[in-house]
Amino acid sequence: MRETLRQYIQTAVIIMLEGDEGIAGTVRQVGEHTVMLITFAQSVAYVVIDKITAIRVSCNPTTALTGTVTATTVNTGAAEVIDNHVETYRRLYAGTSTGSIVGSVGIVENSSVNLAGTGYDSGTITIAATQADTVLISFASLLSGTGPNNIIGTFSIIRGTGTFAGIIGGGTYLGTFGLTLTITGVFCV
């Protein structure tokens, strides 16, 4: 497997793992026991070579991804005011997703906003069509006070399990506080 991976250095691949999970990225380095990928979200991922069951190289994200995520706050986490900014740590949301990927949603958010409601946030969204069929997404947003479409951001699909194993893609979203996001992007499985 190590020699096969070396053939794909600087190539975008989807690595399938034991347990029907996939992770997508560009192969950067192949070591003795791990392969280093740069994911679609531009983060570094290390994968244990012995856990790899297959490598896919033919997935090109072109299928339209649309939908709406609606969620409500489950836990506001800790917050403190620092120099006119409200720092919030680990705010949790729960809700639903409709459109291209339908299921229940869990969101973990970290944000920094000023007292007028402008700032930024980032975190992860997990969409579960079933317990075995999930998609993990990373996101980053700019927050612009009150009114419609006051959340503008980008997202990247990190990985999927079950029927979403090997999913890759990303896109943009608009939303409002209280958490209703309209998602547009591309993906492939």
Q: Which residues of the chain have pLDDT under 50?
A: none
> Are residue 32 and residue 95 in the same domain, yes or no?
no
> Are residue 69 and residue 6 in the same domain, yes or no?
no
Domain that holds residue 156: 63-188
49 CB-contact burial (10 Å; exposed 0-12 / middle 13-18 / buried 19+): middle
Q: Count the residues in the chain.
A: 189
> Are residue 98 and residue 75 in the same domain, yes or no?
yes
> Are residue 21 and residue 103 in the same domain, yes or no?
no
How many Å is the Cα radius of gyration of the chain? 18
CATH code, domain carrying 140: 2.40.350
Judge whether 96 and 114 are in contact, CB under 8 Å. Answer: no
> Are residue 163 and residue 114 in the same domain, yes or no?
yes
> Are residue 76 and residue 15 in the same domain, yes or no?
no
Measure the CA–CA gap between 162 and 175, rounded to whole angstroms. Answer: 29
How many domains does one find in the chain? 2
At 41 the pLDDT is 62
> Are residue 88 and residue 134 in the same domain, yes or no?
yes
At 142 the pLDDT is 83
